[in-house]
Amino acid sequence: MLDTNAHEGPLPFAKSLDEHIRNVIAFKKAYPEFIVSIISVTADVILKRKHAIVWVTTGGSGIADERVFSRESVCRMSFRYDAKNGVWLWYKASGMRGHGDFG
């Protein structure tokens, strides 16, 4: 169950991927100096099961007014190996947003 009242941040709540993409495009137009950087990445690859989990920590910066947006986030991405095509397929993602300046 999604609690939309818990949503906070500079992007409005989106009910679809298309709506989220429109929100991100509008945010980037308003704040072109904003960048997302990769802070750390770790992966657990289980070749016998043809499965992998990748953890990524990202940070957003570049906006002088940190009240607008200052945050670090953690994302967990799950992949399955498609042996027929020889590629890893990303099939699931979940994320946790945190406050900025973890370090």
pLDDT in tens, 5-45: 555 566 777 888 899 889 889 988 988 888 888 989 999 99
CATH topology of domain 12-97: Nuclear Transport Factor 2; Chain: A, (3.10.450)
pTM for the model: 0.62
The answer to whether 71 and 40 have CB atoms below 8 angstroms apart is no
Rounded distance between C-alpha atoms, residue 74 and residue 43, angstroms: 13
Greatest Cα-to-Cα distance within the chain, rounded to the nearest angstrom: 49
Mean pLDDT of the 57-80 span: 77
Identify the pLDDT of residue 2.
Answer: 47
Mean pLDDT of the chain: 81
Higher pLDDT, 68 or 71: 71
Identify the pLDDT of residue 70.
Answer: 63
Higher pLDDT, 49 or 64: 49
The answer to whether 69 and 39 have CB atoms below 8 angstroms apart is no
